[in-house]
Amino acid sequence: MPINIRPGEKEEEFISRCIGEEVASGKEQDVSAAICYSYWRKDKMSKIKDTTSKVMAKVAYDTDFRGINLNLGEILPDGSYEFEEPCWENYIQIGTKIVDGVEVPDCRGPIEEE
C-alpha cells in the first residue's frame, strides 16, 4: 500500500520514514528505497503543469524504474512474507543501478522466449 507524503514533508524526511515502514513490513533495504523514491517521484510528477516537462519527467521515471517490480511480495495469513522476483515477468535482473543516489535492481528486458 502506498505510503502518503505528508503536507510540507521534505524529500529526506519522507524517504527516511517510508523506507523504515517498508523495511518493517519485510522488504529489503534496497527494494524499500526503490519503492519510496518511486512514490516521491510520482507525487512530484503529478504536480507538474507544463506538458513538455511532464512528458520528460515521465520518460525519466520510466527509464529509471523500467522493469522493476515495485510490489515485491505480500504478507501471508500466517504472518510470514512471500517475496517475488525483483523484476517484472520477461525482465531479468543483471545487477543493480543507482537511482536518486540509491542502489536498486537493474532489470533488463523484455526477454523474448524461445
H or E element, residue 94: strand 92-99
CA dist 51 and 76 (Å) reads 42
Q: What is the pLDDT of residues 12-54, one digit of tens each?
A: 999 999 999 988 888 888 888 888 998 999 899 889 999 999 8
Give the confidence band of 102 by pLDDT, cuts at 50, 70, 90. confident
Give the confidence band of 81 by pLDDT, cuts at 50, 70, 90. low
Total count of residues recorded for the chain? 114
Domain spans of the chain, in order of start: 11-108
Q: What is the pTM of this model?
A: 0.61
Pick the more confident residue, 2 or 45. 45
Beta carbons of 22 and 102 less than 8 angstroms apart: no
Beta carbons of 72 and 88 less than 8 angstroms apart: no
CA dist 49 and 29 (Å) reads 33
Determine the pLDDT at residue 82: 60
